[in-house]
Structure 1
C-alpha cells in the first residue's frame, strides 16, 4: 500500500503564514485542522511551518509523508453520531532547531508569516535563567521565541500575532512577560522592548477539543479502508471551541468564524476558561492517576465503571460546580455535555496521554478548585486530594508505570523519594505548585492517610468508600 504523500494533495500549496511550535496530536487536530477549513474555502490561503521544540519529536515522521496526515473525526455532535476523515494539507514543512538552528532563524525573514501558535504543554511557558541568546537553540520555548523575535526585530520587519494554546491562565500575558524577562537578561535594549510592546500582539486563549491521538487499535483497518499508509493519523472529537481574548480585528487575520469554526473573540475569557478547565480538565486530571492505579486505561472505561462514574460525577457536582462563579444551571448543562464527550463511543482516550506533565496540570487544573472549595467549606475536597495522593505515589516510583514529566520535575522528585518526610517535601515544593501546599490546613495529613490506604487496599476501595459517604 502506498504511503501518504504529495500525490494525494487536492489544494494548492499556499505561502507560509503561520509558525507553529509543537507537532503533537493536539495542534495538528486543532489548529492545523482549522487552517485547513479556511483554506478549503479560500479564506486564508496560508500554510504552516512546524517547529519541533524539543530535541526528540515526530517532525521527521511528518516529512516522510510530505507533511500530510489524516484527521479522523468521530463522536457525538448535537446529539448525533458523527464520523468523517480528511487529509490535512495545511503544513508546508518542519524545522528542527536542534539540527539546523540557522534554518530556524530564517523563519524570521519571511514577510508572509503573520501568526505564531504554540502548544508546549503547561510546563512549556517557563523562564530558564540558563538560556542565552548565543545558544543554538535555547532550552525553553520562550527563549527560542525571544531569539526568533530579536532576529525579526534586527531585520526591521513587522511583528507577529502570537497565540499560545497552552492551558495556563492568561497564557498570552505569561508568555509576553517571559519574553520581556529574556530581553532584560540578554540586554537586548529598549528599542527591542518597544518593538515587542508595539509591533507584536500576544493573545490569551482557551482551547477545547478532546484529542485521543493515534488510533493504534484501528490504524491498520483504517489504512486499508482509506487506501494509503499514514503513521501520523490523529483521531479527535468533532466538538471544538476556540476562545481568544483580544480585539475583533483578529477576525481579519484569522477568518475562522467566517469559515464556520466555533471561534469566540471576547474581551474577557475568564468565564469560559474557569468553566472548561474546572469541569472538563479537572475530572480528567483527577481520574488519570486514580483509575490507572486501579488498572483502568481509558476515559471511556472510567465512565462505564459503576464506582468510577459515580466518583467523577460527584466530583463535578459536589466539589467543582459549587466553586465556579457562573449560573448553576449553565454549569450543570455544561457538565452533562462533558460527560457525553467523556463517554464518546468512538474514542479511546488513554489516561496515560492525559498524564503527561501531571504536576503542572494538577497545579493549573485542580489546585484552584481545591483552594476555592476549602475557602467556601472549611474542609478539603476528598476526591481531588485522593488524586494528589495518587500522583505522589506514581512520582515516587511505586506504580507499574513510569511518570511522564519534564526532566526537571522528575529529577526533583528523584531527590526526595527516599525522604521519610516525602509528602511534606513534595507538598512544600513551590516549584511544583507555585506555593507551599503544606500551608493548606489538613492537606498534608489527608494526603499521608490516602497514600497509606492506597498501599493497603488500592484506589478502587477508597473510591468506593468516598462514594458511600457521599450524600
Structure 2
C-alpha cells in the first residue's frame, strides 16, 4: 500500500462484506476516486480456503448477482488490495491498523459477536470474551480493537472511525457501549480516554441477501468470465447501505455510488430489522419445520408467506408508523426478494443465532404492542416457531447443524427438562429481558404455539 493512499481495514472477510462494502468501494474506484482502498483479515482462523484463494488472487474475486427473474451479472472486485494473514497475535492487523494512513476500521462479526445481554451490557458468561478480558487471547471484536488501538495510540497515528457493518440495532452505539465497558473491565483507563477523544462509531444499516457460496457459483463464474475463481461470491441484485455521516478522519464518497449518508439511520434500520430480518427468520424456522431446505421454498409457500405478511402488517407497521418509508411497499419488496429461486439461500444460514435474533429483531415489537394495549398475536408466531425449531434441535431431528453463538446449549436443553418447557422458554432472561415471565407474553406465545402445531399437522412439504 502506498503512503499517500487512505485505507480502510476491515475485520471479517466473509461473503457479506465482499458482496457489499467491498463492492461499494470498488464502484467508487472504478468511477475515478482512487484515493481509498481496502485491506482485510479475520480475527479467527476460519475461512482458510477462501483466504488462501484471495491471497493467490491478490485480493481480487468475482461478485455474481441475480434478479428474481434469473438475470445474472458478474463484477470483478478489486478494492481489497491487501489480505492480512491470520495469526493468533493479530500482528498483521495491529501493524496495519496503527498506520496513520488507516482512517477507518470497519468490521462484520454478526449480531452475537457483540456479547451484549438483555440490558445491553457485556455478557461475561462467554469463554472467548472472558479470555480476551484476561488478556490471554484477542479473538473478539473488543479484544482485537483494544490491541490495535493501543498500538495506534502508542504511535500517535491519529483519529480513526470504528464502523460496524452488522445487523445490530443501533450497531455503532451498542458496539461503542460494549467496547468502552470492555476497556473499563480491563482497567485500561488511558486507552479508554484516547478512544473517547479520537474515535467515532457511526451507526449503519446494511442490506443484501448473500448466501454462503456453493460450488456452482465458481462454475458459473468460470463459464461467464473464463476465470477460475477460488473466492467467488454471489448475492441478490438488490443492495442498500445507509450510514450516519459521523467520520472523524475522512471517508470515501460512498454516496456517489448509491450509499445513503444520513443524520440518523434509526427509521431505516427499524424497518429493515423488524420487517426484513425478522421475516427472514420466520420463513427459515417455518420452512425448516415442514422440510424445506431453501428460503425461497418457504417464501413461495402461501401459508408461510402469510405468516410473514401478517406479522408485518398487523404488528410491525403500527409500531413504525409514521415512517419516511412506504412500509407496505417495503414489506412486499422484501417478500418478493425472499422468493427469488436463484439465490438458493439456505434455511440453515438464516435460522442461525436465534438467541440473538429474538431479543434483537422480534421482542421490541412484542413489547411495544403489549405496552400499547394491543394484542401480539401475529408477532408471537415467530418465537413460537423458534421454540418448535428448538424442540427439533433438542431431539436431534434438525436436518442440519444448528449454529448459535448466543445460545448456552445446557440452558436451551434445560427448557425441555422443565415441567412446562414453553413456560420456561417464556421466562428466559436472555431471550426476553424485562419481558421474561410477563403473563401477556406467555399468553400470546402459548396461543401462537397452538397455531404452529396446527400448521405442522398439514401434509409434509
Question: For this structure pair, what is the TM-score category when the shorter chain's length is used for normalisation?
Answer: 0.7 to 0.9
The answer for the alignment partner of 2:97 in structure 1 is: 108
Q: Residues 412 and 55 of structure 1: is their aligned pair in 2 closer, same or farther, counting only changes over 3 Å?
A: farther
What whole-Å deviation, never above 9, does each CA across 1:269-320 have from its counterpart, x for those lacking one?
Answer: 2111111111111210111111111011222212322322333222222232
1:119 equivalent to 2:114? Answer no
Kept after mapping to 2: 8 A contact 1:18/1:115: yes
Q: Offset at 1:117?
A: 1.2
Q: Residues 218 and 68 of structure 1: is their aligned pair in 2 closer, same or farther, counting only changes over 3 Å?
A: closer
The answer for the alignment partner of 1:409 in structure 2 is: 408
The gaps in structure 1 that reach 5 residues or longer are 1-11, 465-471
Kept after mapping to 2: 8 A contact 1:356/1:404: yes
Kept after mapping to 1: 8 A contact 2:62/2:233: yes
The aligned length equals 444
Q: Residues 275 and 124 of structure 1: is their aligned pair in 2 closer, same or farther, counting only changes over 3 Å?
A: same
The answer for the alignment partner of 2:222 in structure 1 is: 223
> Which sits farther off after the overlay, 329-338 or 125-134?
125-134
Written as runs of structure 1 = structure 2, the 5 A alignment for 1:84-95 is: 84-95=73-84
The answer for the alignment partner of 2:67 in structure 1 is: 75
Kept after mapping to 2: 8 A contact 1:291/1:297: yes
> Which sits farther off after the overlay, 15-24 or 393-402?
393-402
The answer for the alignment partner of 2:169 in structure 1 is: 169
User: 2:337 pairs with 337, 341, 362, which one?
Assistant: 341
User: What SS is found at the alignment partner of 1:257?
Assistant: helix
C-alpha RMSD over aligned residues: 3.2
1:34 equivalent to 2:24? Answer yes
The answer for the alignment partner of 2:235 in structure 1 is: 236
What whole-Å deviation, never above 9, does each CA across 1:142-170 have from its counterpart, x for those lacking one?
Answer: 22112211121122221211110111122
Q: Offset at 1:256?
A: 0.8
Q: Residues 425 and 386 of structure 1: is their aligned pair in 2 closer, same or farther, counting only changes over 3 Å?
A: closer
Q: Offset at 1:409?
A: 3.1
Distance across 2 between alignment mates of 1:320 and 1:202: 28
1:371 equivalent to 2:367? Answer yes
Distance across 1 between alignment mates of 2:189 and 2:343: 50
Q: Residues 277 and 223 of structure 1: is their aligned pair in 2 closer, same or farther, counting only changes over 3 Å?
A: same
Q: Residues 415 and 147 of structure 1: is their aligned pair in 2 closer, same or farther, counting only changes over 3 Å?
A: farther
User: 2:55 pairs with 63, 69, 72, which one?
Assistant: 63
User: What SS is found at the alignment partner of 1:183?
Assistant: helix
Distance across 2 between alignment mates of 1:424 and 1:308: 25
> Which sits farther off after the overlay, 438-447 or 149-158?
438-447
Kept after mapping to 2: 8 A contact 1:44/1:255: no
Distance across 2 between alignment mates of 1:224 and 1:39: 26
The gaps in structure 2 that reach 5 residues or longer are 116-121
User: What SS is found at the alignment partner of 2:192?
Assistant: helix
Distance across 2 between alignment mates of 1:345 and 1:323: 31
What whole-Å deviation, never above 9, does each CA across 1:241-269 have from its counterpart, x for those lacking one?
Answer: 2112234x6795121112x22x2222222
The answer for the alignment partner of 1:9 in structure 2 is: none
> Which sits farther off after the overlay, 203-212 or 180-189?
180-189
Kept after mapping to 2: 8 A contact 1:245/1:269: yes
Written as runs of structure 1 = structure 2, the 5 A alignment for 1:147-226 is: 147-190=147-190, 192-226=191-225
TM-score by length of 1: 0.84
Q: Offset at 1:422?
A: 3.5
User: What SS is found at the alignment partner of 1:130?
Assistant: helix
Kept after mapping to 2: 8 A contact 1:245/1:266: yes
User: What SS is found at the alignment partner of 1:92?
Assistant: strand
Q: Offset at 1:206?
A: 0.9
Q: Offset at 1:138?
A: 2.0
Q: Offset at 1:60?
A: 3.0
Distance across 1 between alignment mates of 2:238 and 2:54: 25
